[in-house]
Chain A
Amino acid sequence: DIQMTQSPASLSASLGETVTIECRASEDIYNGLAWYQQKPGKSPQLLIYNANSLHTGVPSRFSGSGSGTQYSLKINSLQSEDVASYFCQQYYDYQNTFGAGTKLELK
Chain B
Amino acid sequence: QVQLKESGPGLVQPSQTLSLTCTVAGFSLTSYNVHWVRQPPGKGLEWMGVIWNTGGTRYNSALKSRLSISKDTSKSQVFLKMNSLQTEDTATYYCARDPHYPGIHYVMDAWGQGASVTVSS
Q: A-side interface residues toward B, CB under 8 Å? A: 1, 32, 34, 36, 43-46, 49-50, 55, 87, 89, 91, 94-101
A107 to chain B, nearest CB (A): 22
B83 to chain A, nearest CB (A): 21
B94 within 8 A of A: yes
Report how far A41 CA is from B105 CA in the complex, Å: 26
- Per DSSP, chain A at the interface is loop
* 8 further contact pairs, Cβ within 8 A, besides A43-B111, A49-B101: A36-B45, A44-B94, A44-B111, A87-B44, A91-B104, A96-B106, A98-B45, A99-B44
Q: Is the CB of B47 within 8 A of A96?
A: yes
Please classify how large the interface on chain B is, using the bins under 10, 10 to 19, 20 to 34, 35 or more: 20 to 34
B81 to chain A, nearest CB (A): 21
- Per DSSP, chain B at the interface is loop
- For B96, the chain A residues whose CB sits under 8 A away are 43-44
A-B contact pairs, 25 of them (CB 8 A): A36-B108, A43-B112, A44-B94, A44-B96, A44-B108, A45-B111, A46-B99, A49-B101, A49-B104, A49-B107, A50-B101, A50-B104, A87-B44, A87-B45, A89-B107, A91-B105, A91-B107, A94-B106, A95-B47, A95-B60, A96-B47, A97-B47, A99-B44, A100-B44, A101-B45
